[in-house]
Amino acid sequence: MATDIDQNILTNIKSILRRDLKLGPASVIPDDMPFFGGDVDLDSLDMLLLVTSLEKQFGIKVPNEAVGKEVFQNVSSLTRYVQQQQQSGTAASTTAPAPKIDWLSLLPHGEGFRFVSAVTEVRPGQSAIGVWQLSGKESFFAGHFPGRPIVPGVLIAEALAQLSGLTAPEGVASAGKLAHVDVRFEQPVAPPVQIELKSTLTRMIGPLQLCEVTASVGQTVVARGTITLHRE
């Protein structure tokens, strides 16, 4: 017998769909609306962002093998899956720390475009921590607010993206490319400074790798958000 649909979960899922797929707050979403081949045809990035929202909203973990056309057949099938996961209390799996490796040497960036000075911890398939040390004498400061140097936010985002490459399950940074950046800068950073970089892998769908990232100076978070890499 089919599981009765929880109307509260159904309503919340439809709200997430309207927001993440940019359907508009007044759009009508039928319970049997398909996610593939219809008016809404999800691509890999849509799936990545949607699954991440579902996990945050409902406190569940959606394993990669569950992300497919069976679960995402339509809105009702997705609702039933979320219900089952909440009822079973699915927990995220953990990965043991990796042995010590010269992670910095594995970054696919040359010294002229490497914005990570040291990698202090990597847990393959889980997270990475590093630092970017700036003296204030770097060439880009000459033209970025001359006389009042500020670390360019775009380079902080690039540093976080470079570190994120090390969170891959195999623990080796690939020659991935940025697919999506959503980073908020909370306050300016002036040199000389050491910026602590943190990246946590939250989802992989096909070639896409989504990471939650933060950049901090001391105890103060100066930037936070998400980085999506397209791994080759």
Q: Are 138 and 189 in contact (CB under 8 A)?
A: no
Contacts 24+ apart (CB under 8 A), 39-43: 42/72
Q: Are 207 and 44 in contact (CB under 8 A)?
A: yes
The structure tokens listed for 33 are: 């609306």
What is the CA 228 to chain-centroid distance, rounded?
Answer: 5
The structure tokens listed for 29 are: 């979403």
Instruction: Decide if 144 is catalytic.
Output: yes
Catalytic residue among 109, 144, 180, 230: 144
First to last CA, the chain: 43
Question: Helices 44-58 & 75-88, crossing angle to 10 degrees?
Answer: 40
Angle (CA) 163 105 184, round 5°: 15
Residue type, position 1, single letter: M
What is the CA 186 to chain-centroid distance, rounded?
Answer: 18
β partners of residue 133: 194
Question: Looking at the annotation, which residues are catalytic?
Answer: 144
